[in-house]
A and B are shown apart, each in its own frame.
Chain A
Amino acid sequence: NAGVTQTPKFRVLKTGQSMTLLCAQDMNHEYMYWYRQDPGMGLRLIHYSVGEGTTAKGEVPDGYNVSRLKKQNFLLGLESAAPSQTSVYFCASSRGASRLGEPQHFGDGTRLSIL
């Protein structure tokens, strides 16, 4: 079972460049999330979606945009990359609301470096 698939796995960008990270899930989950993971700070929520066509801001949304045109895909965009966005990005999905205890299923992450 594929579960949650993230592409690409690694990327190096120059400051000011743009890029899109793709997340795909094959579990028919309603909820999808984008996190960033930085040393000593755990996982911080960037944006999330509670269903196809919906998106909402998380804890650290500035500098990022998202889209959920299809239920199985959740895209994270960086319009003008900054060195502060160097991080490991994780996508996750859940069947129901994670705030109600539904387990989240994570992809293997995208390691992004901004020079």
Chain B
Amino acid sequence: TQLLEQSPQFLSIQEGENLTVYCNSSSVFSSLQWYRQEPGEGPVLLVTVVTGGEVKKLKRLTFQFGDARKDSSLHITAAQPGDTGLYLCAGQNSGGYQKVTFGTGTKLQVIP
């Protein structure tokens, strides 16, 4: 069974601070996605990373895929209240089983 552990589980910070969320596994993934989920809604895709060592930037969000494709991180610069939500990483394995492994989630609260 593939597991994706996210840390921290909860994070409460002041507006303007920087933060990093980690997504770790002992398994290798062919690609990895990050989703954000707001209360009462379903997850929405933020980014997909497919190459070991890849770095993608989405405005104030920076995503990195580990060299060994077992881990990933999400860094937010100058957090804003609109960044509040549940962040989920999801690993894909191109093997036969039709399964995407979702991480345990990081709940972020940005206080104005």
| Interface pair A98/B100, CB less than 8 Å apart | yes
Also in contact, A109 and B99, with CB within 8 A (given A42-B88, A101-B30): no
Q: Find residues 1-39 in chain B having any chain A CB closer than 8 Å to their own CB.
A: 4, 9, 30-31, 33
Taking CB atoms, residues of chain A closer than 8 Å to B95 are: 99
Considering the complex, give the chain B residue whose CB is closest to the CB of A42: B102
Given contacts A101-B30, A101-B92, contact A59 B99 (CB under 8 A): yes
With A42-B104, A98-B98, A99-B97 already in contact, the answer to whether A109 and B42 are too (CB < 8 A) is yes
Chain B interface residues (CB < 8 Å from chain A) = 4, 9, 30-31, 33, 40-45, 48, 50, 88, 90, 92-95, 97-100, 102-105
Interface size, A (range): 20 to 34
Chain A positions near chain B (C-beta within 8 angstroms)? 4, 31, 35, 40-45, 48, 50, 56, 58-59, 90, 92, 97-101, 103-109
Question: Is the Cβ of B42 less than 8 Å from the Cβ of A101?
Answer: no
